[in-house]
Amino acid sequence: MTPPPELEPALSTFELEDGLAEELAESQLFPDPEPGLLSSSRLRAMTGPGLDSSGHPASSNMGAGLIDRPVSWVALAGFMGTGKSRIGWELSRALALHFVDTDKLITRVVGKSIPEVFAHEGESYFRACEGEVVRRVTRLDYAVVSLGGGTFIQEENRRVLLERGPVVVLWATPETILARTRNSDRPLLHTPDPLARIEALMNEREGAYRQGTIHVNSDGRPSEEVVDEIIERLWNYYEFGGERASD
């Protein structure tokens, strides 16, 4: 489906050549990273064994650390309630990258909440908006991108995202997801039995999610622990030439 005609003029303000990087830097949705938040352990995990604890090269033949940014772009996918926005935000701070939440970007551009888009324009309209936003954010550098729960399910979105860089898929049990989303206004959970709906949707989407690059369980774990694992596995991913990481 082509992007809705109402969406294209609004999204034109986010074209890279028209100042998307500046828009992202100035927006409250995408605040400037704070490199000072990097712990020495995360700095080593991000830049590899080529740096000492102060961030200086330990040898002349290893990476140059933050300047070269070994991890310069990564997307987070997974079912709703797996922690993509929270983990993505903390990951962006740890890696000193911008944070982009595609659902929030869509609501900002179209001027409606996700439930309002579903109610007034329908899911197909939302998915078309989603696809257009994916094409834009994959043109960014220095970003952690948090995807909507259904974004990675669309074949074209998967292709574009995986061609751009690693996609980390977060996982949690249906019970955990229900507990995390119980008080939210999720259009897909407007049903008498939301747990059964979650289980059905997760089974339906599992095959697509399994095509992600790296898989991390967020169930019952503090966000910092999840972020540390993601950083370690991203470093391993790049260290071994960008080959898909094992689960």
CATH number, domain of 69, equals: 3.40.50.300
> Is residue 245, in this structure, part of any structural domain at all?
no
Name the pLDDT band for 172 (thresholds 50, 70, 90).
very high
Res 115 pLDDT > 50: yes
Q: Answer whether 168's CB lies under 8 Å from 77's CB.
A: yes
- Least reliable range by pLDDT among 74-78, 80-84, 189-193, 204-208: 189-193
Closest CA to 90 of 186, 7, 168, 175: 168
Domain that holds residue 122: 7-239
> Is residue 44, in this structure, part of any structural domain at all?
yes
Q: Answer whether 58's CB lies under 8 Å from 52's CB.
A: yes
- Give the pLDDT score at 165: 96
- Give the pLDDT score at 157: 97
Residues placed in the known binding site: 81-86, 103, 127, 149, 186, 205, 221
> Is residue 184, in this structure, part of any structural domain at all?
yes
Q: pLDDT for 4-51, tens place per residue?
A: 544 444 444 443 333 444 444 444 443 343 433 334 334 444 344 333
Number of domains composing the chain? 1
The most confident of the ranges 58-62, 177-181, 214-218 is 214-218
> Is residue 209, in this structure, part of any structural domain at all?
yes
Residues placed in the known binding site for Mg(2+): 85
- Look at the block and give the residue holding tokens 């992600």: 212
The predicted model gives 194-213 an average pLDDT of: 95
The predicted model gives 68-84 an average pLDDT of: 88
Report how many helices (DSSP H) and strands (DSSP E) the chain contains, helices first. Answer: 11, 5
- Give the pLDDT score at 52: 39
Provide, rounded to the nearest whole percent, the portion of the chain with pLDDT above 70: 68
The predicted model gives 163-179 an average pLDDT of: 95
> Is residue 247, in this structure, part of any structural domain at all?
no
- Give the pLDDT score at 21: 43
Higher-pLDDT residue of 187, 164:
164
Residues placed in the known binding site for substrate: 103, 127, 149, 205
Residues placed in the known binding site for ATP: 81-86, 186, 221
185 CB-near residues (< 8 Å, 6+ apart): 113, 115
